[in-house]
Structure 1
Amino acid sequence: MIDLRTLRENPEAVRVSQRTRGEDEAVVDALLTADERRRSAVAAADGLRAEQKQLGKQVGRAHGEERDALLTKGRELAANVRAAEAAQSAAEAKLAELHAVVPNVVHPAAPAGGEDDYVVVKEVGRPPVFDFEPVDHLDLGVRLGALDVERGAKVSGSRFYFLTGVGAQLQLALLNLAAAQAVANGFTLMIPPVLVRPEIMAGTGFLGAHANEVYRLAEDDLYLVGTSEVPLAGYHADEIIDLSAGPRRYAGWSSCFRREAGTYGKDTRGIIRVHQFDKVEMFVYCQPEDADREHAGLLAWEEEMLAKIEVPYRVIDVAGGDLGASAARKFDCEAWVPTQGRYRELTSTSNCTTYQGRRLSIRYRDENGRPQVAATLNGTLATTRWIVALLENHQQADGSVRVPTALQAYLGKEVLEPV
């Protein structure tokens, strides 16, 4: 949730954020009105309760007709208190309803617009030039004995697959490389649960506009996570954490699940857009004033991993209309995919400021010992989709694939040979 103090002190900033996202800014005024009505209802109820308390003292000292009159007045006042408390509850419920649907305030530097209005921050490396017709990752994976989507569909349906042989080894190599990098940079490695309670999923902002992307187990009232960001955000829910020594950084290794609702017909070939994949995700808790610096650090670590797999990539500053509800700013790293002749997303890193911390009641103590809401950030270090860029960019004329130097120790191979 956004900070209501920001709303009261600078409502225009929230309106600008809504415009940047391409969303209705009328909700800002509705939230302001709801906030004013709640504060007014609280003041009215508090005033009546104070009057009721004072009357109680008078009754204790009164006798005879005076006491009877005060008791009558007390009954009337009690009815007024009940009505005021009901009005307060209704006002608080309305405020909570509106507060929950307003997305995070977009960072002032983030571009406005939708999916295609990103800004390219930089491009790194040059797309490879082949002296043969390049083959896409699916055909390469089949020839290498690394990928089987036909049996994946037979067993589980469309957008499922088996990683087989060197394909399974390649994914483990990528994720182990990512985990090792995270640990070397001070992250605590975690293997979190992939089923979470509704309040944790909602607290991270994933049950809003994109709730149809999430798998739900209705009988157990649990959700399958689409990223380990969710359980890692919930790890310190309802806690006051110690940030006196600096940010807390975790790296979660998990399977992830996405329904891919609304993507019928998109990326149906291969493993670019699938229902299940594995990922190593960085997650940071920090003081709000450190969030921008931490965001830059997460992006740098993502680029370090991309350099290790030796693929051309670009970094884009994602436009406001393409941000999730919890993100104030997001950078994507997109790798070149030769057979598509374009860049495709491999990683993203989001600065969620205090949006998730406020929803999940994650706090820290400031220098004066007062509890304050913590900021949260996340960023991907490696995922199954990386196999696409790796196979296609490092393919050779004979159908083999060169293994990047950083992965050779994990795979025990310099070249993946067709079977």
Structure 2
Amino acid sequence: MIDLRLLREDPDRVRASQRARGEDVTLVDSLLSADERRRSSGVRFDELRAEQKQLGKLIPKASPEERAELLGRAEQLKSDVKAADAEQDEAKAETDRLLLQLGNLVHPDVPVGGEEDFVELETHGTIRDFGAEGFEPKDHLELGTLLGAIDVERGAKVSGSRFYFLTGVGALLELALVNAALAQATAAGFTPMLTPALVRPQSMAGTGFLGQAAADVYHLDKDDLYLVGTSEVPLAAYHMDEIIDADKLPLRYAGFSPCFRREAGSHGKDTRGIFRVHQFDKVEMFSYVDPADSEAEHKRLLEWEKQWLTSLELPFRVIDVATGDLGSSAARKYDCEAWIPTQGKFRELTSTSDCTEFQSRRLSIRMRDEKKIRPLATLNGTLCAVPRTIVAILENHQQADGSVRVPEVLRPYLGGREVLEPVAK
């Protein structure tokens, strides 16, 4: 959540942020009104309680005539204090409810617009000309079938659409990717983490996934637990309700977890293969930093993502995501999109977001700096979303006979294997 003090001091900035996101601008005025009511009712409650306490001191000293009048006033005050307390609680609840609906303040340099209004910042690698090589590229599902690596038919039979099995070299390729990604993260100073896949409501809400993204989340009603769509959630909640000394920052974690998404609103999109699925594994970077260092840390996370994709020898571009496509927690987000040959376009493979103090305020995570306690900043960055990375590797490194060349960085994790060979015609 944002700082209420900032809202009071500069409501136009908050309105501009809401407008850029394509969100309800009137929410700002409703929140200002609720906050004013909360503050005034609090003042009223404090004044009545002070009078009540003062009266309590006067009654024992009063004459019989005065005592009767004071007791009458005390009875009225008791009723007034109770009503003021109820009004204060109601106003606070309304303020909190509205505050949780408000997205993070977008960074002033973020391009304004929707999904297609991003700004391309840079490109890396060379897109292969398969025509010049004399063959038509196969898509990842055809290649995965030839390699005995992907089975979506049995995935659908067992679990339904958008589920799959990784088999044989497909399973080994996932493990190679995960181990290589964690090795890079560990070398960069991240603490590797295996995180819970089920979290409590306060963890999910605290990271901002029960707002606009709630329709994409799986909820277990009987247990009131949520299946995470990213290990960002448990990693963000890891230090919930804690105060961290400034000299321990930055704290960096690399979480590996299964991820679950309903893919709400994606009907008819990417229905072939394993690009958009309901369950997948992912290695996620997460940082806790001083807010003054969040922009620099955001660039560091992006550099680690670029290093990873470069090591996989994939052509990709980096985009500055537009305001309407940020997600409620992010002030700014960069995506790295790999080239997918059979689609003839770049598709998102990794993403990194600067959430500033938005999540830490909701999760009550603070830093202690020179005896001052204040919220810190959180950032996240996908290092390896496994199925999409497999898609990009298979399609970009395929050969005319249906085999796939293994990027050098993965070979130590695949027993030195340089090529994945077809097992089926």
Q: What TM-score do you get using the length of structure 2 for normalisation?
A: 0.97
Q: Which residue of 2 aligns with 1:45?
A: 45
Matches within 5 A, 1:76-91: 76-91=76-91
Structure 1 SS opposite 2:148: coil
Q: Which residue of 2 aligns with 1:414?
A: 418
Rounded to whole Å, the distance in 2 between the matches of 1:109 and 1:35 is: 29
**Which runs of 5 or more residues in structure 2 are unaligned?**
none
Matches within 5 A, 1:133-148: 133-148=136-151
State which of 328, 340, 356 in structure 2 corresponds to 1:325. 328
Q: Which residue of 1 aligns with 2:377?
A: 375
- Check conservation: 2:349, 2:389, Cα contact below 8 A: yes
- Check conservation: 1:326, 1:356, Cα contact below 8 A: yes
State which of 335, 340, 364 in structure 1 corresponds to 2:338. 335
Rounded to whole Å, the distance in 1 between the matches of 2:26 and 2:267 is: 33
1:228 maps to amino acid: S
Residues 1:358 and 2:376 aligned together: no
State which of 174, 198, 205 in structure 2 corresponds to 1:195. 198
Shift of residue 261, structure 1, vs aligned partner: 1.4
2:293 maps to amino acid: D
Structure 1 SS opposite 2:246: coil
Rounded to whole Å, the distance in 1 between the matches of 2:256 and 2:395 is: 25
- Check conservation: 1:175, 1:383, Cα contact below 8 A: no
Rounded to whole Å, the distance in 2 between the matches of 1:99 and 1:67 is: 46
- Check conservation: 1:364, 1:372, Cα contact below 8 A: yes
Q: Which residue of 1 aligns with 2:173?
A: 170
Rounded to whole Å, the distance in 1 between the matches of 2:183 and 2:147 is: 26
- Check conservation: 2:125, 2:310, Cα contact below 8 A: no
Identity of aligned residues (%): 65
1:372 maps to amino acid: R
State which of 291, 298, 301 in structure 2 corresponds to 1:298. 301
2:263 maps to amino acid: E
Shift of residue 270, structure 1, vs aligned partner: 0.6
Shift of residue 19, structure 1, vs aligned partner: 1.3
Rounded to whole Å, the distance in 1 between the matches of 2:74 and 2:173 is: 76
Shift of residue 60, structure 1, vs aligned partner: 2.4
- Return 54-63 or 153-162, whichever deviates more: 54-63
1:64 maps to amino acid: P
**Which runs of 5 or more residues in structure 1 are unaligned?**
none
Shift of residue 83, structure 1, vs aligned partner: 1.1
Shift of residue 69, structure 1, vs aligned partner: 1.3
- Check conservation: 2:249, 2:288, Cα contact below 8 A: no
2:270 maps to amino acid: D
Rounded to whole Å, the distance in 2 between the matches of 1:264 and 1:162 is: 21
Q: Which residue of 2 aligns with 1:398?
A: 401
Superposed CA deviations along residues 388-415 of structure 1, whole A, max 9, x for unmatched, are: 0011000011111100011111112001
Superposed CA deviations along residues 333-359 of structure 1, whole A, max 9, x for unmatched, are: 000000000000000000111111011
Structure 2 SS opposite 1:101: coil
Structure 2 SS opposite 1:304: helix
Shift of residue 187, structure 1, vs aligned partner: 0.7
Shift of residue 370, structure 1, vs aligned partner: 2.1
- Check conservation: 1:147, 1:161, Cα contact below 8 A: yes
Superposed CA deviations along residues 60-93 of structure 1, whole A, max 9, x for unmatched, are: 2223111121111111111111111111111111
**How many residues align structurally?**
418
Superposed CA deviations along residues 16-65 of structure 1, whole A, max 9, x for unmatched, are: 10111111211111111111111111011111111111111111222311
State which of 234, 258, 268 in structure 2 corresponds to 1:255. 258
Rounded to whole Å, the distance in 2 between the matches of 1:298 and 1:34 is: 38
Shift of residue 242, structure 1, vs aligned partner: 2.3
Runs of 4+ in 1 over 4 A off after TM superposition: none
Rounded to whole Å, the distance in 1 between the matches of 2:411 and 2:76 is: 82
Structure 2 SS opposite 1:112: coil
Rounded to whole Å, the distance in 1 between the matches of 2:376 and 2:188 is: 21
Structure 2 SS opposite 1:244: helix
Matches within 5 A, 1:231-310: 231-310=234-313
Superposed CA deviations along residues 239-293 of structure 1, whole A, max 9, x for unmatched, are: 1122313211011000100011111111000110000100000011111111111
Residues 1:182 and 2:214 aligned together: no
Rounded to whole Å, the distance in 1 between the matches of 2:98 and 2:74 is: 36
Rounded to whole Å, the distance in 1 between the matches of 2:287 and 2:379 is: 5
